[in-house]
Amino acid sequence: MDDETFHFNPELEDNFQMTAQSLPFQVQSWTQLDDVKQDRHFRQMVMTVFSNSQNGTQPVSQLVELLALTADMNTASFTPSFNLNDMAMAKLSTYSGLYLYGQYQQVLSNSHLSEKLKDRFSNDTQAFWLAHTDRLHINFNQTEHVANYLQDVKARTGRLTTLSAMLGTFLTEPTMDYALVEMIGAIGETLGVIYTILVDADNVAKPEIFRDQLMTGNYSLLVLFAIEEETQFFTDFFHQKTKPTADQFEQARQLARMTGLKPATDMAKELIDQTKIDAKNLPEGPIKARLGELLDQLTELCTEKDA
């Protein structure tokens, strides 16, 4: 996968770039927009699936991206060798994130969203930040289980795609029954989990990213499956007195690829199949058709990873 994998309403990205460029220069200097472009494009695609082409220019259309950008400035990970310069940079990033969060709250407050959806955004935002706290508690935890991983992904990435799906739906059909909007939100959450698993599968082929994940204690699904299968190797790897060598990192990566790739893509396929079943409850129309096309695309990506 890359930045061009997912197709979305280009007005969403154009509006996002305008929003980012209007930020104070102190904040702009800390926004790494290209580093998170693929994640943003996937959320924009989820929003596109559940909305129409006229919604990309509205300020409220950037609500989820403001929240995501705030989180990108306050990542739930860190490197063990944290020096004074790193601490100063982290504080500067945090202050910029607080500014962005204020912008998010202002857009939400001034929006024409229904009170139910505003409440949902407020409650999910609080849970979103708590999930980052929970993530910090399980970083560097070699006893983390697949269930912990899924809970974390649902609570962070999945929550953002939940809100993207619900926002797109409301902007297109503001009178839609709220129970149906919530069901669409649940589908959005699952799409976020599937996407994260596929990103993990991509990253096992990228030695530098794989190494950084291990060094920050942010273990991918493939690594968790590998730890279950190759327990002794990873016990020795994580508990040695010196930093692992380049050869040891490469061996760990190969083990993650060999033992973790298939169960990870199998899990993604199961989630896609379940989402196809859930999608049958949606009314016939463009939304259901676009969702079907996205699920077919995700299935193809899984198949490519298995090849």
pLDDT tens digits for range 249-265:
999 999 999 999 999 99
**Overall pTM surpassing 0.75 (yes/no):** yes
pLDDT in tens, 55-72: 667 889 999 999 999 998
Secondary structure (DSSP) of 7-37? ---HHHHHHHHHHHHTS-HHHHTT--TGGGH
Rounded to whole angstroms, the Cα distance separating 233 from 225 reads 13
Please check the confidence at residue 36 and state whether its pLDDT lies above 90: no
Rounded to whole angstroms, the Cα distance separating 215 from 140 reads 8
Distances (CA, A) of 94 to 68, 77, 216: 14, 13, 18
Distances (CA, A) of 107 to 13, 62, 64, 102, 131: 17, 9, 10, 9, 23
pLDDT in tens, 263-301: 999 999 999 999 999 999 999 999 999 999 999 999 999
Integer-rounded Cα Rg, in Å, for the chain is 20
What is the reported pLDDT for 85?
Answer: 75
The chain-wide mean pLDDT, for the chain, equals 91
pLDDT in tens, 98-127: 999 999 999 999 999 999 999 999 999 999
pLDDT in tens, 136-169: 888 888 888 999 999 999 999 999 999 999 999 9
